[in-house]
Amino acid sequence: EVQLVESGGGLVKPGGSLRLSCAASGFTFSSYSMNWVRQAPGKGLEWVSSISSSSSYIYYADSVKGRFTISRDNAKNSLYLQMNSLRAEDTAVYYCARGSMVRGVGYFDLWGRGTLVTVSS
Amino acid sequence: DIQLTQSPSFLSASVGDRVTITCRASQGISSYLAWYQQKPGKAPKLLIYAASTLQSGVPSRFSGSGSGTEFTLTISSLQPEDFATYYCQQLNSYPRTFGPGTKVDIK
């Protein structure tokens, strides 16, 4: 089955760290760019970070730049998000999403169910 | 950064209604726009990419149009399962911004 499964969320104190994982299955993971998107409670979607298929290109939202690090292990079909110096405003459901492209136009066509990160003392 | 606005932010409609949602970009993004549907407690689902291409498996009552700075998502005949929040997203440049969403509710 083609799917993405996130894990690693939980409750963490402000200033703390957390590492999210996203396990991919059912498709050739190494052929796709991957993304993290988050959604604060009751709010809209916010793009967080993207990584190309070979990790050559990495991008971050300004809100997380310098604190979060995206990475991937194509041998393990896994995507990661290392989150440091966490703040209350980082509280959200974090989704991993597959990036596809047709005729140079990209889109996020496969999403995981998400993992909840709560930053609170 | 490219900003996206959506209108309306909330829409009340009945089953069978034709519904149109507009997404406007702060600068031209050609056809680098996607639309997603999200139901409460669920992950977003891709509906449309490249502004007007229907994702495989998505009902044909959904359609998208536009280019440049103005885009529309149309549901030709609203069905009970279509009550959800809809988001546009630009993929012209980074950051990959999303619109604020349009919630479609039952009248």
Would an 8 Å CB–CB cutoff place A105 in contact with chain B? yes
Closest-CA residue in chain A for B30? A105
**Mean pLDDT (whole number) for A29-48:** 98
Would an 8 Å CB–CB cutoff place B102 in contact with chain A? no
Ranges assigned E (strand) in chain B: 4-7, 10-13, 19-25, 33-38, 45-49, 53-54, 62-67, 70-75, 85-90, 102-106
Q: Tokens 């490249």, residue? A: B50
The one-letter amino acid at A18: L
Q: Residue B48: pLDDT band by 50, 70, 90 thresholds? A: very high
Q: Give which of B91, B26, B98 is closest to A47, Cα–Cα.
A: B98
Q: Residue B78: pLDDT band by 50, 70, 90 thresholds? A: very high
Q: Tokens 């407690």, residue? A: B41
pLDDT at B106: 86
Q: Residue A31: pLDDT band by 50, 70, 90 thresholds? A: very high
* A65: Cα within 13 Å, side-chain hemisphere: 8
pLDDT at B83 over 90: yes
**pLDDT tens string A66-87:** 999 999 999 999 999 999 999 9
pLDDT at B25: 98
